[in-house]
Amino acid sequence: MMNRRNGQQGKGQGPGGGPGQPPSGPPSGRQQERAGVEQGAGEPAGLAAELWRQNQDLAAGCLDHPFVQGIARGDLPRSKFIWYVGQDATYLESFARAYALAIAKAPDRETMVTFHRLLQGVLQELRLHHGYAARWGAVLHPEPSLATRAYTGFLLDVAWSRGVGAIAAAMTPCMRLYAFLGRSLLGRVAPGNPYREWVETYGSPDFAALAAQLEGVLNRWHGEAGGPAGVAPLYRTAMELERAFFDAAWHAG
C-alpha cells in the first residue's frame, strides 16, 4: 500500500453541504456501534464490510499477484522490492497529506482524533521503508511512476475537494487490503524469508485495528458523500489503483 504525491490540486469546500457540517448530525454512540464503529476491531463492519465484499475480485487478484506471491515465498527479486519501497514511500507521504486534510475538515473532535491517530500510523509505517533504505539501499521518493502518480493524484484530489466521508472511502481500501494481505501471508512466510518484516507489519493486529478505525469513519460519515452509491465508486477506484501499483512493481526492477 503506499502513498503518494505532491500535486497541487485546487482546494475544495469543507465537508458536507454547510461550513464543515454533514447533511445530518453524527450518530449517537449506540448508533455508531450498529454502524460498525468499534474502535480497535480488526474486521470490517457495516457499510465498509459490504464494500469490501463487493471488491473481493480485486482483493483476490492482489493476493494472487506474482509480486505478492513472490513476497510470500521469499523469492521476489530484490530489485523489484526496492523499486516498490521507493514508490510506496512517495505514495505514503501523499497518504499522510490526505489524512492531514481530513483532520482539518473533521466535523467533530472524535473524527479529528481518529484521523490524527491514523496519520501517526502512516508515519510509523514509513519507518519500515527507511529501514529498507538503510539495509538494502532503496532510494526513497524517486521520480514517481505513472501508477504512483495516478494513485496519489486520485487521493489528493478527493482530499482537497471532498468531505471526510469521501476521503475515508478513497483511503480505506489501502488499509483494509494490506491488512488482508498481511494476515493471509502471515502463516506462510518462513523464518528466513527476507520479506518477513513486511508481512508481519501488515499482518499485525495493530494494523488491522487502524484499518477498522478508518472504516468506522466511513461508516459514520458516508451520508455526506452521497451514501453507499456515492462512496462505492471511490472505493472501487482505489482498489483498482492498488492492483495497478502491484502491476507496476512487478514489471519494474
Enzyme catalytic residues = 174, 242
Helix-, strand-, coil-residue percentages of the chain, each rounded to 5: 70, 0, 30
d(CA 1, CA 93) in angstroms, rounded, equals: 12
d(CA 186, CA 204) in angstroms, rounded, equals: 9
b vs e for 161-179, b when ≥16 Cβ sit within 10 Å of the residue's Cβ? Answer: ebbbbbbbbbbbbbbbbbb
The answer to whether 138 touches 197, Cβ cutoff 8 Å, is no
How far is the first Cα of the chain from the last one, in angstroms, to the nearest whole number?
18
Which residue type does 114 have? Answer: T
- In degrees to the nearest 10, what's the CA dihedral of 13, 5, 248, 66? -80
Helix pair 227-251, 46-54: axis angle to 10 deg = 50
**CA geometry: angle 174, 210, 231, nearest 5 deg:** 50
d(CA 100, CA 14) in angstroms, rounded, equals: 13
